[in-house]
Structure 1
Amino acid sequence: MNQPYNGMSAAQMDGVVWRKSHFSNPSGNCVELAELPDGRVAMRNSRDPEGPALVYSRRDTDAFVRAVKGGEFDDLIA
């Protein structure tokens, strides 16, 4: 695999296992996450699996998940 970077085509990230939440809806409106070999986390749009991926450090991902669990983004829910 090439060195992953933000905006890289998710299709070029060979060997990673993409997963999505069981809360995702049947129409596929969700994001998928994958752990990269170096420990970072990639995110892609499930409706565009070959589109760009965003790559985050483990620390950034941890901060985001904690904020979601803590309700910091609840005002964005429809």
Structure 2
Amino acid sequence: MEQTYNGMPATDLAGARWRKSRHSNSQGNCVELAELPDGSVAVRNSRFPDGPALIYTRDEIRALVLGVKDGEFDGLVV
């Protein structure tokens, strides 16, 4: 795999298997995540699958998921 970087086109992530939450809606209002071969995780907007991908470490994703589970971001969703 070529070098990955934040903002690279999601389509350049060869072999990425994108997953989205079963809670996403039919209008495509969701984000998708893909585990990359080096263990990092790519995130993209499902409405713009050819757009940029943000690349996070596993520790960064772990911190986000734990924060979501603990309700730390509930104020963002009204």
TM-score range, shorter chain: over 0.9
Identity %: 62
Per the alignment, residue 7 of structure 1 pairs with 7
Taking only aligned residues, the RMSD between alpha carbons, in angstroms, comes to 0.6
Per the alignment, residue 77 of structure 1 pairs with 77
Name structure 1 gaps, 5 residues minimum. none
Query: In the TM superposition, what is the alpha-carbon distance from 1:2 to its structure 2 partner?
Result: 1.9
Query: In the TM superposition, what is the alpha-carbon distance from 1:18 to its structure 2 partner?
Result: 0.2
**Matched residues in 2 for 1:73 and 1:65: separation?**
10
Name structure 2 gaps, 5 residues minimum. none
Per the alignment, residue 36 of structure 1 pairs with 36
Q: After the TM superposition, list the runs of 4 or more consecutive aligned residues in structure 1 that deviate by more than 4 angstroms.
A: none
Q: Which has the higher strand share?
A: 2
Aligned length: 78
Q: Could you tell me the TM-score, scaled by structure 2's length?
A: 0.97
Q: Could you tell me the TM-score, scaled by structure 1's length?
A: 0.97
Per the alignment, residue 45 of structure 2 pairs with 45
